Structure 1
Amino acid sequence: MQNANGTPKQTGFRMPAEWEHHERSWMMWPARAGFWDDIAATRRDYAAVAHAIRAFEPVTMAVRPEDAAEARSMLGGDIALAITAIDDSWARDAGPCFLVDDHGARAGVNFRFNAWGGKYQPHDKDDAFAGYVLQQTNVRTFNSRLVAEGGGMSVDGEGTILTTESCFPNINRNPDWTRDEIELELKDMLGGNKVIWLPGNPEEIETDGHVDDIATFVAPGVVLIEHAGDPQSPWHAISMANIRALEGQTDAKGRQIKLITIPEAVEAEAIGDRFCRSYVNSYLVNGGVIMPRYGVRSDDLVRETFEALFPGRTVRQVSIDNIAVGGGGIHCITQQEPAA
């Protein structure tokens, strides 16, 4: 979609990598009571994630007016509240994709949001949330017709975009767009030069295979990806397809991409298919990494991997069972606002 004064790419903006410095993190307080098994327990887990992040950087929590008193009592005084109408609580997907340029200016992309292909109603308030955040942060807004969620893309801040075939080209999101048109829009909106397409996971029932459950950039030229695990697993072939799609790939700068593999929390499989078992679905904050704790043996193994990957960051583990039951993880419920 052409903006009147040029696209972000044409005007020198890019989406920065998650490891670049943040002004704050945005979150959304759980609101869709019929969705969560126990919304009170989910809110306690959200509060725990917010406080873990707050140890490293400011946090602003978007809260419905009717939930403000409870949120304040659970979050305390160190988490800022933004009182606004929302439908639910996935800030990565409903929030904007923030941009920066080389002169210290900031902007943001307002993609369309349709609740992952119309899976939940209503979603009009969440569709308006990105515009609200960009207005609150007083940055330039670029509007896109593309239905896209932040969890469906990972960027290295240097022109490379990672996404999946099973998500944005899905007929439930962008039936009138070709894959080439989607690729061009992502490049224009995020300031990218190369899009790497993974197969994704068409069997994943909540997001249709968001990339932030599968693979993510953790440094220039380095991608963290779930390994294929047990060959007898029903997910083995899907995992292998994503790994093979990245093998031999180069980034926008021409660097050979290095793959680092980590397991899923496979011992959590008994909880159900919707339960998010992904350690990839962690979040980089200023000086830290916020990762899930599932109470299984792989927690310690992955923490050690993260400590080796990010020697200058503190790794903080948070129990998120009452979030993961909704199909998402720590990355799904956060959205970084970059520093100017």
Structure 2
Amino acid sequence: MSDAAPAWVMPSETAPHDCTWMAWPSQGYTLGDTPDEVAAARRTWAAVANAVTAFEPVRMVVVPADVEVARAHLHPDVEIVTAELDDAWMRDIGPSFVRSADGTRLGAVDWVFNGWGAQAWASWEHDARIGALVGGLAGAEVIGSPLVNEGGGIHVDGLGTVLLTETVQLDPGRNPGLARADVEAELARTIGATHCVWLPRGLTRDYDEFGTRGHVDIVATIPSPGIVLLHEQQDPDHPDHAVSRALRELLEDARDARGERFEVVGVPAPRTVADAEGLVDWSYINHLVVNDGVIACTYGDEHDDRALGVLAEAYPGRRVVGVDARPLFDRGGGIHCITQQQPAL
């Protein structure tokens, strides 16, 4: 990568936020087909938003027809802005916020969004415009990018390190013909990445029909420089047991942008290994860091308290709040997937 100073830098999620952005579920697979599914989606998106409001402002993008129902579910402090949507995964359809190198200007990287690699079930006519829309509403300088990417496909430490997976950015359905060097050059230009740590893959279920093909934000994250939290499937009969072990070996050999090795901290997967659809990819890694807090996935599982304790140790001084994420994972994601932080200047 270039040694030139980056024009833009993506701060760590632990840096102070101005607000968190979300999108309200309004149609399709995310909302569900039955009245019970619709109610569960609305309750869960609202539970996450309302939990975040205890720590920082929330701005919710809502389709005009759903403003009344959204308002009925949301804390009065949640600000509603209207726009048409296809889905409600703000981490992926929204921009990745960055700051100028001197910290005085806010930028918003508007990745190309094509339905997680042009998935047959996905639509993205409206969602493809949300990155630029949210960036503009935030008062940011919108930074266009030709790279097909989603916010759930990257995690940064704020010092130039980025975690990503080969099956996302190098996915033929996203960026056919691009090599690692091409992706790395674009990440250097847009988010100030000076060192990429490529994971070979994500969790097993994420490659099913409604998966993302390997998003890193259910696999690993960087709570502070030099530390990696890693999803650790402890059941040897689950295929992610082998995935976790391989990723640990890779990360323990890897170095960050400073040239230093990582300390890899395992976060135990839930004891539950399957639901009605098959083996689960439920993950405590898919949490959102907010001002003075962490909004974490819970599953009504015996490992919930243990995992939230690991998160509390990883984020000292922050209050960890659990929200039942099973209705989110039923739809293909978690708390991190439906949120996007806007850093403070």
Residues 287 and 294, structure 2, Cα contact 8 Å, conserved in 1: yes
Q: Structure 2 CA distance, aligned partners of 1:115 and 1:305?
A: 33
Preserved CA contact (<8 Å) 1:274 1:325: no
Task: Give the counterpart letter for 1:213 in structure 2.
Answer: I
* 2:223 aligns with one of 218, 234, 237: 218
Q: Deviations over 1:64-104 (max 9, x none)?
A: 00111100111142100011111110000001010112242
Determine if contact 2:217/2:286 at 8 Å carries over to the other structure.
yes
2:245 equivalent to 1:240: yes
Distance 1:202 1:21, change over 3 A: closer
1:18 matches 2:19 = no
Partner of 1:68: 67
Question: Which stretch of structure 1 is more off in the superposition, 322-331 or 114-123?
Answer: 114-123
Note closer, same or farther for the CA distance 1:271–1:298 as it changes in structure 2 (3 Å cut).
farther
**What is the DSSP-based 3-state SS (H/G/I as helix, E as strand, rest coil) of the residue aligned with 1:100?**
strand
Match status 1:125 vs 2:126: yes
**Structure 1 equivalent of residue 267 of structure 2:** 262
1:336 alignment partner AA: Q
Q: Give, in angstroms, the shift of residue 245 of structure 1.
A: 1.5
Q: Does the CA-based 8 Å contact 1:276-1:328 persist in structure 2?
A: no
Give the residue type in structure 1 aligned to 2:343. P
Which whole-Å deviations, capped at 9, do the CAs of 1:216-259 have from their partners, x for residues lacking one? 11101111001242223222222222222211211101222111
Letter in structure 1 aligned against 2:114:
N
Hey, what's the Cα distance between the residues in 1 that align with 2:276 and 2:23? 25
Q: Percent identity?
A: 38
Matching of residues 1-340 of structure 1 within 5 Å:
12-37=7-32, 38-101=37-100, 102-119=102-119, 120-201=121-202, 203=204, 204=206, 205=208, 206-267=211-272, 269-273=274-278, 276-340=281-345
How far apart in 2 are the matches of 1:29 and 1:85? 10
Give the secondary-structure state (helix, strand or coil) at the position aligned to 2:65: helix
For 2:5 and 2:110, the matched residues in 1 are separated by: 17
8 Å Cα contact 1:199-1:245 kept in structure 2: no
Do the aligned partners of residues 76 and 274 (structure 1) sit closer, same or farther apart at CA in structure 2, a change above 3 Å counting? farther
What are the superposed Cα offsets for residues 17-36 of structure 1, whole Å, 9 maximum, x if unpaired? 00000000000001223444
Compare 120-129 and 328-337 and name the one that shifted more.
Answer: 120-129
Partner Cα separation in structure 2 for residue 256 and residue 79 of structure 1: 41
Which structure 1 segments of 5+ residues have no match? Answer: 1-6
Kept after mapping to 1: 8 A contact 2:152/2:216: yes
Contact kept in structure 1, 2:203 and 2:240, CA below 8 Å: no
In structure 2, the CA distance between the partners of 1:16 and 1:130, relative to structure 1 (3 Å rule), is: same
Aligned-residue Cα RMSD (Å) equals 1.7
- Give distance in 1, aligned partners of 2:122 and 2:323: 30
Q: Do the aligned partners of 1:274 and 1:326 also contact (CA within 8 Å) in 2?
A: no
Letter in 1 for 2:65: E
Counterpart-to-counterpart distance in 1, 2:10 and 2:245: 29
Q: Report the residue type matching 2:109 in the other structure.
A: V
Contact 1:200 1:214 in 2 (8 A): no
CA–CA distance in structure 2, aligned partners of residues 310 and 202 of structure 1: 24
CA distance in 2, matches of 1:49, 1:163: 25
* Corresponding residue SS for 1:128: helix
Kindly state the Cα deviation for residue 273 of structure 1 after the two structures are TM-superposed. 4.1
Kept in 2, the 8 Å contact 1:265–1:294? The answer is: yes
Residues 248, 279 of structure 1: CA spacing in aligned structure 2 closer, same or farther, 3 A cutoff? same
Calculate the TM-score normalised by the size of structure 1: 0.94
Could you tell me how far apart the structure 1 residues matched to 2:344 and 2:203 are? 35
- How far apart are the structure 2 equivalents of 1:157 and 1:187? 13
**Which deviates more from structure 2 when the two are superposed, residues 267-276 or residues 320-329?**
267-276
- Please give the secondary structure, in 1, of the residue aligned with 2:167: coil
SS of alignment partner, residue 297 of structure 1: coil
Q: Secondary structure at the match of 1:183?
A: helix
8 A contact 1:275–1:326 mirrored in 2: no
Partner amino acid for 2:84? Answer: A
Query: 2:282 touches 2:329 (CA, 8 Å); kept in 1?
Result: yes
Distance 2:103 2:29 in 1: 46
Q: Deviations over 1:89-148 (max 9, x none)?
A: 000000101011224211111000011111234202111000000111121111111100
Instruction: Return the TM-score normalized by structure 2.
Output: 0.92
> Contact 2:8/2:189 (CA < 8 Å) preserved in 1?
no
